[in-house]
Amino acid sequence: MSRLIRASALALAVSSGWALPAHASAASDAAIQQELAAMRAQMAQMAQRIDTLEGQLVEARTKADTATTAASAATAAANSAVAAAAPTASAKPATEVTWDGAPKLATSNGWSFKPRGRLQIDSAGVNAPDGIAGNKSLGIGTEFRRAYLGFDGAMPGGFGYRIEADFANSSVDLTDLYLTYKASPKLTFTLGQHKPFQSMEDMTSDLFTSFMERAAFNSGFGFERRVGVSATYSGKQVLIQGGVFTDNAADLNVDSNNSYSLDGRIVFMPKLGKGQLHLGASAHYRDFNDASATARYRARPFVHTTDLRLIDTKPFSASGERAFGAEFAYINGRLHATAESQWMTAIRTGLTNPTFNGGYAEVGYLLTDDTTAYKGGAYDRIRPRHPVGKGGMGAVQVNLRYDWLDLNSGAIIGGRQQVAGISALWIPTDYIRFILNYGHLWIDNAAVPAGNDQSYTANALGLRAQFDF
């Protein structure tokens, strides 16, 4: 800009010089020259002043830009500070909904909730000699074997919960009602009503058993859920479970039922070639804690639709009981093989302690291209690779089993029951299962004789339809 002003002044001066007339006097020329010199001096001062103002303007703009940048940074920092200081409770955690048989709601801060339930409808019958007292109850019967409804989930801090009840047959019975705490990825504590640790088949959910009913010793020896506190250590190859229990929740309000038990189980579950090996052992001790207490062991004939027990020790005096169990299983793809046995000893003060034994051996095979499921020391849900509704027929499995329960020991003669059984399972989808099973029974020293005969045979046939979520 200063260059422009200088050029303008010079042009003015030159033009003024060229405008002088030829006849002007020398004196006038000298005066004009002086005037032009003065004007040039003033123009030079103006140019210098303009240069100074331009420098000040540049400096002012630089300071303004710096101030603007600093103000922007301060504003951003203030906004961050305000956001950080805002209470976290005002922000609601996002809720994720997934589906696994039923909707499961989970939040980012550790809460989850999932409804659960199952329905099992059984039709079954027992064909036995006509002379058996109460034989009419052995005919064909239909029942809602189980109708569970409940929910489970997780809470912040590593806690979990489950509440579930059985509504079958116009009654309400608590099944699972407990709180868990996961102290570490491998260690979990449980408080409330849940299963003591007494056999592999008992620890396997009734949703995943290969026959309609578990082996006779499970019900015969009174395995049931009880209220207590337990701990489970679950490693890659070792499972250790143990707890202290009282009675079933339904019996806690009965004054005479104040027993306590100690239960433990250990499982070694390494890989063996391409398969899974399972070796387990369990121990049980129970003090009835009642001077007038009695023990009783008995079992139904292979199916649950009848209340008649063909083998039964009847009640006898006892102060407690102890039991030991052994478990074996091998799972490899479609194939599984299982064997278990339990020894139950009734403790009698001043009398001989009788010991009873039961067990089973089983082999099963999936006819479809599916895999037998095993998880955490028990059998798990079989998920068909080609389910119905997606171009397939689901999974089909056949199983053979030999099951026995001997309730004869010393002076206690409760009878002996042996069963050769076969079952066929159709699993069209993950959550639906149909079971057809047949059993041939041999009864010796029967608690319920056929006329005068305490040794006879019987046949049982049953069908189950079930679904769960």
Task: Note the pLDDT tens digit of each residue in 360-369.
Answer: 999 999 999 9
Q: Please say if the pLDDT value at position 287 is more than 90.
A: yes
Q: Please say if the pLDDT value at position 21 is more than 50.
A: no
Query: Which of these ranges, 79-93, 293-307, 331-345, has the smallest mean pLDDT?
Result: 79-93
pLDDT over 70 for what percent of the chain? Answer: 87
Q: Please say if the pLDDT value at position 216 is more than 50.
A: yes
Q: Please say if the pLDDT value at position 42 is more than 80.
A: no
Confidence label for 55 from pLDDT (cuts 50, 70 and 90): confident
Q: What is the pLDDT of residue 23?
A: 46
Q: Contact, 340 vs 357, CB < 8 A?
A: no
Q: Which residues of 313-340 are buried (b: 16+ CB within 10 A; e: fewer)?
A: beebebbbbbbebbbebbbeebebbbbb
The C-alpha angle with vertex 96 and arms to 95 and 100, in degrees rounded to 5, equals 140
What is the arithmetic mean of pLDDT over 377-382? 98
Confidence label for 443 from pLDDT (cuts 50, 70 and 90): very high
Confidence label for 79 from pLDDT (cuts 50, 70 and 90): low
What is the amino acid identity at position 226? R
Q: Contact, 437 vs 212, CB < 8 A?
A: yes
Extract the tokens encoding 300: 């139904």
Nearest residue to 339 via CA among 357, 361, 324 = 361
Confidence label for 101 from pLDDT (cuts 50, 70 and 90): confident
Domain boundaries, the chain: 1-17+36-57, 118-147+172-468
Q: Contact, 238 vs 269, CB < 8 A?
A: yes
Extract the tokens encoding 198: 């007494």
Q: What is the pLDDT of residue 66?
A: 74
Angstrom distance (rounded) from CA 189 to CA 228: 11
Angstrom distance (rounded) from CA 198 to CA 281: 9
Q: What is the pLDDT of residue 248?
A: 93
DSSP string, 3-28: HHHHHHHHHHHHHHHHTS-TT--HHH
Question: What phi and psi, each to the nearest 5 degrees, are found at residue 315?
Answer: -65, 140
Q: What is the pLDDT of residue 22?
A: 45
Q: Contact, 442 vs 418, CB < 8 A?
A: yes
CATH topology of domain 118-147+172-468: Porin (2.40.160)
Angstrom distance (rounded) from CA 158 to CA 111: 10
Extract the tokens encoding 407: 């309730």
Tell me the average pLDDT of the chain: 89
- The DSSP secondary-structure symbol of 70 reads H
Helix residue spans in 86-117 (DSSP H): none
Digit-coded pLDDT (tens) for 226-282: 999 999 999 999 999 999 999 999 888 765 568 999 999 999 999 999 999 999 999
Q: How many CA atoms lie within 13 A of 305 on its CB side?
A: 24
Cβ-based neighbours of 155, under 8 Å, separated by 6 or more: 110, 111, 161
Extract the tokens encoding 292: 């007038």
What is the arithmetic mean of pLDDT over 398-406? 98
Cβ-based neighbours of 176, under 8 Å, separated by 6 or more: 150, 162, 163, 164, 192, 193, 194, 225
Q: Taking each helix axis as running N to C, give the angle between helix 2-18 and helix 26-85, from 0 to 180 degrees, rounded to the nearest 10.
A: 170
Q: What is the pLDDT of residue 91?
A: 59
With H, G, I as helix, E, B as strand and everything else as coil, classify residue 365: strand
Sign (positive or negative) of CA dihedral 129, 130, 132, 135? positive
Query: Which of these ranges, 39-48, 85-94, 134-143, 168-177, has the smallest mean pLDDT?
Result: 85-94
